[in-house]
Structure 1
Amino acid sequence: MTIFLSLLLIFGHAQQGTYELNVTVENIKEPKGQLIIAIFNSKEDFLEKPFKSQTVAVSQNSENIKFTDLPQGHYSVSIIYDENKNGELDKNFFGIPTEGFGFSKKSMGAFGPPSYNDTKIKMDSDEAITIPLKYM
């Protein structure tokens, strides 16, 4: 019985699987500062509470970031090009970003960031996406 339960747990985990997401960030205007890459797995947490995140030092005009062990599901990716390394997207007096940013599916909001639904990608296999940074 113990062997049967163990096999059932192993088989169940293999069925669900985890996947890898490779994110290529392009259009980095100067190789300085850092990228803050956040992955969100729900509309409620979008842009507030990342499921996973990484901060990567910028050394070239294009960077590759790998996320592993992502369960099957939908995810949205946001990127901040934090040139001054203060840990946030700087904005001017009018609330317009003064640093680069980007979202999965190359989405842009009309007046503010795009929605979770406009940026989400389905993970049911390993994926590779490219996000070019935008500047205002």
Structure 2
Amino acid sequence: MRIEYIFALLLLFFSPLIGDDNESPKKNKSSNLNIVVSGIKSDSGFVRVHLYNSERKDFFPKKTLQCYKRQVIEIKDGICRLSFNDLPYDTYCFSVHHDENANEKMDTNILGLPTEGWGISNNVKLFMRLPNFDECSFILDNNDITINVEMRY
């Protein structure tokens, strides 16, 4: 009886250490995001990509310095391919911009409209307004994904 009592206490004490360490199926999980940008009118300059996650959604799309991750990619034959690897499962969106003159900013006209190419995830159609995170976002989970975006001028 005494041995059974001690065994029960030991089992109770060590059971949290024996259990499954996957508290959440998405905890510490990651996937890769592949982006293909097409419709780039020239190979001059670079494509700048700004990736935003759900924690930084309030900065999309204007505050590019506050984005989650960024890349600057060279253009080849009017197409640009890039990857963000090992991204934690989350909701994301991104913006792309053809920095033709390599001045590290989006050039605009007197009305504030872009004079360089631009694009956003989900290829959302816009008219005289900025996109919001929710309409451009996608969920990155289980599988690696590839998203195609068309550059607009």
Q: Distance in 1 between matches of 2:85 and 2:91?
A: 14
Of 42-51 and 75-84, deviating more is 42-51
Task: Give the TM-score normalised by structure 1.
Answer: 0.86
Other-structure match for 1:122: 139
Partner of 1:133: 151
Query: Which 5+ residue runs of structure 1 have no aligned equivalent?
Result: none
Q: CA deviation at 1:12?
A: 5.5
Is 1:22–1:65's contact at 8 Å kept on the other side of the alignment?
A: yes
RMSD: 2.2
TM-score where L is the length of structure 2: 0.77
Alpha-carbon distance in 2 for matches of 1:76, 1:65: 15
Runs of 5+ unmatched residues, structure 2:
1-13
**Post-superposition shift, 1:95?**
1.3
Instruction: Kindly report which structure 2 residues correspond to 1:34-49, keeping only aligned pairs within 5 A, or say none.
Output: 34-42=46-54, 43-47=57-61, 48=63, 49=66
Shift of 1:45: 2.4
Quick check: which one's helix share is greater?
Answer: 2
Aligned pairs, how many?
132
Deviations 1:8-45 (A, max 9, x none): 3xx45985310100000000101110000011113212
The runs of at least 4 aligned residues of structure 1 exceeding 6 Å deviation read: none
Structure 1 equivalent of residue 83 of structure 2: 66
